[in-house]
Structure 1
Amino acid sequence: MPYSIRNSAGAPTLAQAIIDTIPEPFVVLDDQFRVLEATRAFYETFKVDPAQTLGRPLYALGGGEWDIPALRLLLETILPEQATMDDFEVAHDFPNLGRKILVLGARKVLSSDSSNATILLSFIDVTARRANEREKEELLKQTQELLRQKQVLLDEMEHRVANSLQMIASILLLKARAVTSEETRVHLRDAHQRVMSIAAVQKHLHASSGVREIEVSSYLSTLCSSLAASMVADSQPIAIKVEADEGTVDSANAVSIGLIVTELLINAIKYAFPTDKADARVLVKYEIKGPDWKLTVADNGVGKRAGEARSADSGLGTAIVSALAQQLDAKIEIASDTTGTSVSITRATFTSRLAPTT
């Protein structure tokens, strides 16, 4: 007669009452692995009949589907050595249930008034959880592969864009040398410089490929240094200085800001110093205050007198800067006199801490 957790009259004990409240599949076995008690969740989860369960060896339940090698290993080898075991995972195909992945917990309990050992065995069905984990892993792998393919395509596109810009710039330069009209030559050279400026911005942003935020100071310093190297002649040196607050800008806005700086810098180099000037200089300043910012490009060139228009003020460069500023939700302010010209692009209500100095 197997040991029972009920009293001699067959009435439920405290242990039996506790088992009846457990919501998870749970069984109590004697030292011969016969089922003494089981929770309702055990019967419902594994579709077994209480009358065909109580008093029978666990391995013999159903049609013998519980004779699981991993379960035998837990109960007959591991548990006698350790007396307790948690998170023991078992995968098994049940005839009426399909494949189940179970996490088992086992305790071996010796009663103080009996030499018989009792084994407490709990089951947690993690089949759905493991399936979700595998699905997430597969989705992660697919996402990583798609990102890799996207990066390959992006790199290829950037490479083709760079080559195309260089080709267009070369064609424009050849055309400028070939035409006889001076006005046409000037327009072609202007177009050439703007294509090269776009290429410069594209090159610097390509170095930060995959980065959503671009560090402003190093970005503008590198860009202005590159433009100065290609445009400032040795015969008329122009010092180009960059002052930028520490901070970052979204990579999408960095493109527009870079093009604005390029246009204003080209304009200053071309028109601010028609004659040699010993201390010719251009200051590029970028100030940040919260979400707002102010970009200023100021030179100490000839500027203009009241009522006088500089040749580039209504040209293509101004139209480009205006369009880019509008995209950035920023306003343009131009101050120009005989001491030089300052162009400011301001987002929202930014107020400079100090007036720009050249």
Structure 2
Amino acid sequence: MFHPIANIEDAQTLAQAIVNTIVEPFLVLDEQFRVLAASRSFYETFKVDPEQTHGSLLYALGDGQWDIPALRLLLETIILEKTAMDGFEVEHDFPNIGQRTMLLNARKVLYDHSSATTILLAFNDITARRSIEKEKEELLSRTEDLLRQKDVLLREMEHRVANSLQIIASILLLKARSVTSEETRQHLKEAHQRVLSVAEVQRHLHTSAGLEEIEVVSYLSKLCSSLASSMVGEDQPIKVNVTAQAGRIDSQKAVSLGLIVTELVLNAIKYAFPLEKAKALIQVTYETDGSDWKLTVSDNGAGKAAGEPPSVGLGTAIVEALVKQLEAKIEVISDTDGTSVSVTRATFISRIPRAA
């Protein structure tokens, strides 16, 4: 059976008991902002005397420590226009407990049979949370600064490496022009092109938005154009064509692929066309299928006679080592239609025809 509260004293006792069960600091104010009730956690948190609190004006508590402009704004302006306000943040240096950041939640209680107004005010101390957030922001800011410094240093290093490679390539080319041995001259020219292939990657990295990836079509096209312009003679014009799927590759893979292309294109320029041939073509293709890829360098040259042993020069050794590093496999097809060398990562079915 329901038993109503017998008198106002019992109601006040129940109300105070409810207030004391609230974990956060809590106040009940009248319309003049005088304290009608305060929770036990309010006294414990702000270290104020209950006898000096009850019935006192909120702004006069603790020698005026609650006379905070932001709190006045909440109570005298916002709460008069609205019946509730949540998450109103106040930062203040309290005399007994130091600097604190509080979230204030306020409710205005209106009664059906009375013109009186009661204001409920709850405090949530978020000082520790804000301190952690500030530390995280400072850490993030420092990390961003370090990353920017790293980016600047990496770009400066790449710039210097690219310059060094260009100097080395120039020295090799000058030396090639000064030697009397045709064989030595050819070896120096090939070394020059090997250095240029690495320098081309560095140049792309330096001009790309990211430091770790480069655009494959532009990279292979410019690399092959450089090879053709410096190595193809007037006595046998050879077109070097590139067909590649759009996409980006990481710089380490780009270096390996660039060196492979350099070796295979140089080999085709040197050996594929021993006799003058109209429409001589070297075709470079790069295809992808998910994480799989296939690089092919083919020509429409003389090819190799049946039973002719494969070449075992420096270029071949370099290509085999790079193919192994890329965890790929190499396949060579050479017949009367020319030679095709494919480097394949995993299983890949080519959709682009070889040079013809």
TM-score by length of 1: 0.87
| Offset at residue 271 of structure 1 (A) | 1.8
1:334 and 2:321 equivalent? no
1:115 alignment partner, SS class? strand
Equivalent of 2:314 in 309, 313, 316: 316
**CA offset digits 1:230-264 (Å, max 9, x no partner):** 33334422222222234432333222222212221
Between 319-328 and 141-150, the greater mean CA deviation after superposition: 141-150
Q: CA deviation at 1:209?
A: 4.7
The correspondence of residues 50-129 of structure 1 with structure 2, limited to 5 A, is 50-129=50-129
The SS at the match of 2:287 is strand
Letter in 2 for 1:31: E
When structure 1 is superposed on structure 2, of 17-26 and 340-349 the one drifting more is: 17-26
Read off the aligned partner of 1:36 and give its amino acid letter: L
Per-residue Cα deviation, 1:34-79 (whole angstroms, up to 9, x for no partner): 2223334433433345455333332333344223233233223443
2:343 aligned partner: 345
Give TM-score, length-normalised by structure 2. 0.87
Aligned to 1:203: 203
Output the CA distance in 1 between the equivalents of 2:354 and 2:16: 85
Aligned AA (1:33): F
Matching of residues 109-188 of structure 1 within 5 Å: 109-188=109-188
Distance (whole Å) between structure 2 residues aligned to residue 267 and residue 191 of structure 1: 13
Q: Note if contact 1:200-1:226 (Cα within 8 Å) is conserved in structure 2.
A: no
CA distance in 2, matches of 1:207, 1:271: 35
Q: CA deviation at 1:83?
A: 4.5
- What displacement does 1:226 show? 3.3
Is 54-63 or 121-130 further displaced after alignment?
A: 54-63
CA 1:218–1:16 in 2, change beyond 3 Å: closer, same or farther?
A: farther
Change in 2 beyond 3 A, CA 1:347/1:187: same
Map of 1:3 onto structure 2: none
Distance 2:183 2:233 in 1: 22
Work out the CA distance in 2 between the residues paired with 1:212 and 1:171. Answer: 29
The root-mean-square deviation of aligned C-alpha atoms, in Å, is: 2.7
2:138 partner SS: helix
SS at match of 1:71: helix
Percentage of identical aligned residues: 68
Q: 1:165 to 1:211 in 2, by over 3 A?
A: closer
Partners in 2 of 1:86 and 1:21 — Cα distance?
20
Distance 1:123-1:226 versus aligned 2 partners, 3 A rule: farther
User: CA separation of 1:182/1:262 partners in 2, compared to 1, >3 Å: closer, same or farther?
Assistant: closer
Q: Is the 2:22–2:39 contact (alpha carbons within 8 Å) kept by the matching residues of 1? A: yes
CA distance in 2, matches of 1:40, 1:232: 91
Q: Secondary structure at the match of 1:294?
A: strand
Give the whole-Å Cα distance in 2 for the aligned partners of 1:213 and 1:318.
27
Gapped runs of 5+ residues in structure 2?
Answer: 1-5
Aligned residues: 352
Secondary structure, counterpart of 2:329 in structure 1: strand
Match of 1:275 in 2: 275
Deviation at 1:297, TM superposition (A): 0.7
1:162 and 1:173 map into 2 onto residues whose CA distance is 16
Asked if 2 retains the 8 angstrom alpha-carbon contact of 1:7 and 1:13, the reply is no
Distance 2:205 2:116 in 1: 76
Which stretch of the first structure deviates more once superposed, 95-104 or 55-64?
Answer: 55-64
8 Å contact from structure 2 (residues 200, 219) kept in 1: no
